């Protein structure tokens, strides 16, 4: 079995738009002063795509999230874009990915969360004594310690929460940003 021809989205549209009229498609291709999306394909590639099928090349835009297939890192395509070989990304450790795919919504959410925490000098859900967090119903808690199970114990009533349980909470204030403790630290 032969490999299917790879087409751009525009080339695939042109092939599909001319289904039932191969002759008209080929005549358009050879008209002078009438450039088409399939001009850069060989005659054999057009024939193979029309009669044997094709695959549409995946395209990526600046700002889209991609995942490195080797390392698992997720990053955004930066303004340098991509070519057939690599995609240029906004990752500070590596400038580009050579093996990549579009990132899933879950991977994007995880990476955005990781970046938010890193911006504040923390690992994901790394809380410190004195941080203020808020639950889904508006209840406020101050982290006072970490217990022997690795759970965060909070004031006012010494309730313990695992990192998994805290996924529904949000950080209101890190200890470093608290104005009520200025001069006490």
Structural domain of residue 86, as residue ranges? 65-118
pLDDT in tens, 108-125: 999 999 999 999 999 999
| Calpha distance 61→103 (Å, rounded) | 13
71 and 103, same domain (yes or no): yes
pLDDT band at 34, cuts 50/70/90? Answer: confident
Q: What integer is the mean pLDDT of 29-33?
A: 77
- Whether residue 143 is predicted with pLDDT greater than 80 in this model: the reply is yes
Per the structure, the count of domains in the chain is 3
H or E segment at 5?
strand 5-7
113 and 76, same domain (yes or no): yes
Q: How many Cβ atoms from other residues are within 10 Å of residue 105's Cβ?
A: 8
| Calpha distance 92→80 (Å, rounded) | 15
96 part of a folded domain: yes
pLDDT of residue 111: 92
52 and 69, same domain (yes or no): no
pLDDT of residue 167: 83
Tokens of 127: 């809380």
| Calpha distance 54→157 (Å, rounded) | 64
pLDDT in tens, 58-111: 777 888 888 888 888 888 888 887 776 777 778 777 777 777 788 899 999 999
Q: How many Cβ atoms from other residues are within 10 Å of residue 135's Cβ?
A: 16
């Amino acid at each position: 079995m032969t490999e299917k021809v790879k087409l751009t989205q525009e080339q695939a549209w042109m092939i599909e738009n001319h289904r039932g009229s191969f002759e008209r498609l080929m005549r358009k291709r050879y008209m002078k002063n009438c450039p088409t999306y399939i001009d850069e394909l060989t005659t054999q590639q057009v024939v193979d795509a029309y009669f044997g099928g094709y695959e549409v090349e995946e395209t990526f835009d600046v700002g889209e999230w991609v995942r490195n297939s080797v390392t698992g890192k997720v990053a955004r395509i930066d303004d340098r874009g991509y070519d057939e070989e690599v995609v240029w990304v906004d990752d500070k450790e590596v400038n580009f990915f050579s093996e990549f795919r579009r990132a899933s919504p879950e991977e994007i959410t995880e990476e955005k969360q990781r970046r938010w925490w890193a911006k504040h000098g923390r690992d994901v859900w790394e809380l410190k004594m004195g941080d203020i967090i808020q639950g889904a119903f508006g209840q406020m808690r101050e982290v006072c310690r970490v217990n022997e199970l690795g759970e965060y114990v909070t004031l006012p009533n010494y309730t313990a929460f695992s990192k998994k349980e805290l996924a529904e909470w949000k950080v209101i204030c890190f200890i470093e940003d608290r104005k009520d403790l200025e001069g006490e630290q």
